[in-house]
Structure 1
C-alpha cells in the first residue's frame, strides 16, 4: 500500500510513518519543518524512517513542503492509496496569539488536501482532530455527540476540519475519518508538553511548574495507541464518514501527574505554581466506546503506566533528546 503522511516528521506523524514502513508499506512524508520546536527532533525522526525503510525493503520519500501549496499537495497525493493527515499548526496558546496562522494551516491546508485527494481518487483520508473541539464539558467522559463549543482558535480549526471532511464525504464520496486525539504523549514528544516538561525539569534538579492550581484533569493518550488506531484504518472502512475519540479513557490531575514524575525522579523537589494559561481546558476525559465498537480500539496503557514508560525512554535517550528539549 502507498501511504502519504502529512506532518510526518512531527511527533505523532513521525510514529505513524515509521510504523507503516515497518509494516511493509511505501510511505511518503510531507512536512514543512515548521520551527515550532527544535528541528533536531524531527531530523532524528527522519533518520528512524530511513532505517525502517531499509530494514523493511520498502520505498520512503521525504518531501519538504506545505499543505497549503496546491501544486506540492497534488503531486504527493497522486498515486497514493491512503492519506493520513497529521500536518497542523499545533498549540492552543499559540493559536490565541496568532489565530490567522492556525486557520491558514489547519483549515485552508486541509481543504487543499481534501480537494487533491478527491481528484486523485484516494481510498481514504484519515484526519487528526482533537479533544479541543469539545470546549467546556457539559458532561464527562466526552462522547462524540457531546456539544462542540471550542474555547480556542485551535479547537475551532480542528472542528472546521471535521466539517470539511464530512462535506467531502457527502458531496464527493471521498471516504474520510476524523480522530479526536486526547493529549498524545510518548517518545520524541513535543518539548513544551506537561509530561516532557516535568520530566526534563526533575532530571535536572529543577522543580516541576504547574500553571494553575493543578486540579485540572487530563486524559493522556500513549502514542502507540494512536498508531494502532490509524494502522487499523488503513484497510478498514468501518469508520468511514465518522468522528471518533482516541484516548485512554483514564484521567489524572496535573497535580498528581507532577507528583508522579517528581516522586520517581527527584522526590526532594517542591512543586511550584504559576498563573493558569489562557484557553487551557479545565478537564478532558474520553469515552472510547465508539472506536471500540467500530475498529476494536482499546487503550494499551493506563496513564501512570505510560508515564513510567516515557520516563524510562527519556533516561535511555537523554543524551540526544534532552539538549533539544532544554533548548526549546
Structure 2
C-alpha cells in the first residue's frame, strides 16, 4: 500500500481525491488546518465521507503547512511516497484585502512541504495551482505559454509556488508537477461558489446575484475530471517540472450559467446584478492539449452536463448545506 499525503484533504477537492485514493488502495494522510473560511461542519462531513470508505486507510492530522515542526514530524513518522498539495488560503477577492496572510499560508506552506519532500525522497509532488496565474487574457484559450499577469495576491502566491516547484525539480530532481485548475465545481463544493450558490438560491426561492454585467466567462471543470488528472500522476514518469492546464475546454458566461440553473431547477426567481468585484478575471478558457498529450487527460464533463450532475446531487443531498444558505455569488 502506498502512503500518500493530501494537504487540504478535508476540503472540496482534497476530500474527493482522498476518496479515490482510498478506493485504489492507498493509505492517505489528510493534513488540514480546518480554516473556517466556510462552515467547518462541511469539512467534517467531507472527512466522514472519506472514512466511510475505510477508516483504517485515512489518518487525519489537524495542522497547518506553515507549522514547520509539524511538517517535519509528519515526514519523519511516515514513509510518504506521493504528495498532493491541495491546501491553500482560498479566495481571490479576500486576498486583495489581506495579501500578507495569503503569502504566508500559500508560499511559506509549500516551501515547508518541498523541503521535507526532497529530504525524504518523495517520488512525486503535485501542486494544485490555478488559472488565476494568467490574469488578463492576451488571447484565448490560455495555453501554458501565455504570459502570467495575475490580478490578485492569491494569483501571485500560486505563481510563486509554481516557480518553487520548478526550482526544486531542477535543483534536487524532485518530481514536481503544477496543475492549473480552472474553476472546479461538483458535489460537496463550497457553498459560496457561483454554481452552488445559484442552485441553493433557486431551490430556496431567492434571487440570483451576479456581480458585474454577467458577460464574464468561465471554464468550469467538474470535480471528477480534476480527480482523474491527479490520479494520472500517481505513477506517471517523465512529467517532472511540467505545468499543465486542467480545464474542461468548454466555457460559459455567468449570465448564461444563471439562466441555465434557473431553467434546470424549474424555478421562477429573478436574476439581479450588482457591482463587479476586484481581483476577478474577466474571462478564462483552457487549452488542455498539453495535458492530453503528456498524461492522457480527457475531460468527461462539459459545463451543462456537469451542472445537471450537481443539481441532481444537490436535490438528493439538500441537508449537506443546510442550514447554510449562501448569500453571494
Question: What is the CA RMSD across the aligned residues, in angstroms?
Answer: 1.2
* CA-CA distance at 1:299 after TM superposition: 0.7
Question: The residue matched to 1:323 in structure 2 has which SS?
Answer: coil
CA distance in 2, matches of 1:173, 1:236: 15
2:261 alignment partner in structure 1: 261
- Partners in 2 of 1:224 and 1:238 — Cα distance? 24
Gaps of 5+ in 2: none
The match for 1:59 among 57, 60, 72 is 57
The alpha-carbon deviation at position 239 of structure 1 amounts to: 1.8
Counting only pairs closer than 5 Å after superposition, residues 1-328 of structure 1 correspond to structure 2 as 1-54=2-55, 59-78=57-76, 79-326=79-326
TM-score (structure 2 length as normaliser): 0.97
TM-score for both structures, normalised by structure 1: 0.97
Q: Quick check: 2:175–2:239 contact (8 Å CA) kept in 1?
A: no
Distance 1:77 1:176 in 2: 17
In the comparison of the two structures, how many residue pairs are matched?
325
CA positional deviation for 1:97: 0.6
- Whole-Å Cα distance in 2 between the matches of residues 114 and 325 of structure 1? 38
Residue by residue over 1:265-306, the C-alpha shift from the partner in whole angstroms, topping out at 9 and shown as x without a partner, is 244222111000111110000000000000000110100000
Q: Distance in 1 between matches of 2:205 and 2:267?
A: 10
The Cα offsets for residues 22-48 of structure 1, whole Å up to 9 and x where unpaired, read as 111010000000000000110001111
Of the structure 1 ranges 316-325 and 171-180, higher mean CA displacement relative to structure 2 is found in 316-325
Could you tell me how far apart the structure 1 residues matched to 2:113 and 2:264 are? 44
Q: Deviations over 1:207-230 (max 9, x none)?
A: 111100000000000010010011
- In the alignment, the residues of structure 2 paired with residue 289 and residue 238 of structure 1 have an alpha-carbon distance, to the nearest angstrom, of 17
Q: Please state how far the C-alpha of 1:322 moved relative to its aligned partner.
A: 3.0
SS state of the match for residue 324, structure 2? helix
Structure 2 SS opposite 1:322? coil
Are residues 98 and 232 of structure 1, via their aligned partners in 2, closer, same or farther at CA, if it must alter by over 3 Å? same
Cα distance, 1:194 vs structure 2: 0.4
CA contact (8 A) 1:77 1:83 kept: no
Q: Aligned-pair distance for 1:319?
A: 1.9
Checking the alignment, whether the CA contact within 8 Å between 2:31 and 2:60 is kept in structure 1 is yes
Does structure 2 retain, via aligned residues, the 8 Å contact 1:126–1:179? yes
Q: Tell me, in whole angstroms, the C-alpha distance in 1 between the residues paired with 2:238 and 2:284.
A: 26
DSSP 3-state at the match of 1:233 = coil
Q: Distance in 2 between matches of 1:63 and 1:265?
A: 39
